[in-house]
Amino acid sequence: MVYVKNISYLLSHIFFLVFICLFIPHRFSKRKTFHVCFLSCMLMILMDYFKLYLFADSPVFYFFTTITQITITQLTGLFISEKRTIKALFIGLSASNYVLVGTIFAPILYLSTGSICLALIGNLLAHLTILAALYFRIGNVVTRFCERDLGKNKWELCLIPVFFYCSFSSIAFFPHTLYEHPENILVSIFLMITMLVSYVVVLRYIDSETKQVEEYWKNVMFESYIKGLESQNYLVRQSERNLKILRHDMRHYSMTIDSLLNQKEYEEIRNITGHIHEVVDENKITRYCENLVINTVLMTMAERAQSLQITIHSDIAIPHQIPVNEYEFAMVLANLLENAIHSVENLEVEKREIHAKLRCTAEHLLIDLENECTQEVCFDSATGLPKSQKGKGHGLGMQSVQAFCDKLNGTITCYCENNRFRIIMFVKF
């Protein structure tokens, strides 16, 4: 019996580490990650030897050894994780539940058949089936779950695997095992099914909710893009009309200038040429950058700022082709500029200024915005970004910015000092 338990526990340790390697984005190389997992597995096997052989008659030692093993396995998952967040902990705790489900098959098959060989083979197949089913069925959902920002530090998610794990353990392993109380097998099976269904539902719900937020901001960005195109079209048509009038009047201006030259009225000629230059400058369409989508959004935000008597001092260098999704980038710029406009629109006119420096090359991306800020800014303790105080439904813009930065493995720095707010996003490709 102890032999079956020992092999079963060994399989559970191995499949737990395989699970977190597949589902948790890790920060180290494959070789280093393997070494960390191997050391963790050896430590787990050593502790199994102590609790199953040397101190097999001590429930207290069994309990505390198991708690230590749980702690070590979860710390392993967090250690190799690219970002040590609640999401990484949630996946690690969930992995413990899934390998626990696979482990339950060993006593069920042994009690049903009386064969140690069939019990261990069934245990191995159960682990493989669960791992393959999860990887191919919800692997993409878990990947998106890791990449996306949840908006808040949703530690409550971790309660789901914790309570399932405690329920499984109390029914199937401690203080009495299924070998001692086979009547608990049916309850374990139904609890197992409930857990699998619950996880799929929760992850798909989170995925659906996040997609809705993304679609909302995409619609906002496209709306801004369409308005910008309409505005550009209007300006182009207006400029064409004014320039046609200017070309028509050039014959009269030329005759007048010739007459003034004969009269040596040079000052009056300067006034006429100055007027012509003014007309040309007034009908020149402002172009902020070469990229059409980015330029359209920037022009829309600039028009909005101008209507509120806000001056945007811009230093922009963005080429026609950029190495990021131009719609996502435009959405980020729209969110950040909109926040800056909201921050200064109620200030004195002379303080309504926004300084924007934007760079995008094949090597890096830089967004640097600075503006006057007299209101108190609350920063999120988890992300370090400004947190909206307007209640539910607000603050989605900064979530979108954070998600974009995380996707590109960039960094965001923001601070508010001496009534000056500044946010810097930098991505190195």
pLDDT at 228: 62
Sorted by sequence, the CB contacts under 8 Å of residue 402 that are 6+ apart come out as: 149, 383, 385, 412
pLDDT at 393: 46
pLDDT at 279: 63
pLDDT at 197: 80
Question: What phi and psi, each to the nearest 5 degrees, are found at residue 412?
Answer: -125, 130
Q: Residue 65's closest CA among 83, 53, 77, 76?
A: 53
In sequence order, which ranges of 263-325 are alpha helices (DSSP H)?
A: 266-282, 292-307
- Residues of the chain under the 70 pLDDT cut: 1-3, 141, 143-154, 207, 209-210, 213-214, 217-218, 220-236, 238-240, 242-243, 245-249, 251-253, 276, 279-286, 381-383, 388-396
pLDDT at 10: 84
Q: Is the Cβ–Cβ distance between 19 and 99 less than 8 Å?
A: yes
pLDDT at 99: 84
pLDDT at 84: 77
d(CA 129, CA 124): 9
pLDDT at 147: 61
pLDDT at 308: 92
Question: How many other C-beta atoms are found inside a 10 Å radius of the C-beta of residue 71?
Answer: 10
The Cα-based distances of 200 to 8, 103, 104, 117 in angstroms read 26, 20, 20, 32
What region does 309 belong to: left with phi over 0, alpha with psi -120 to 50, or beta?
Answer: left
Tokens of 80: 């190799």
Determine how β-strand 311-317 pairs with β-strand 353-360.
Answer: parallel
d(CA 146, CA 92): 12
Domains annotated for the chain, with CATH where assigned, are 2-211 (no CATH), 287-429 (3.30.565.10)
- Which residue shows structure tokens 């191919």? 136
Q: Is the Cβ–Cβ distance between 299 and 232 less than 8 Å?
A: yes
Determine how β-strand 353-360 pairs with β-strand 411-417.
Answer: unpaired
Q: Is the Cβ–Cβ distance between 136 and 201 less than 8 Å?
A: no
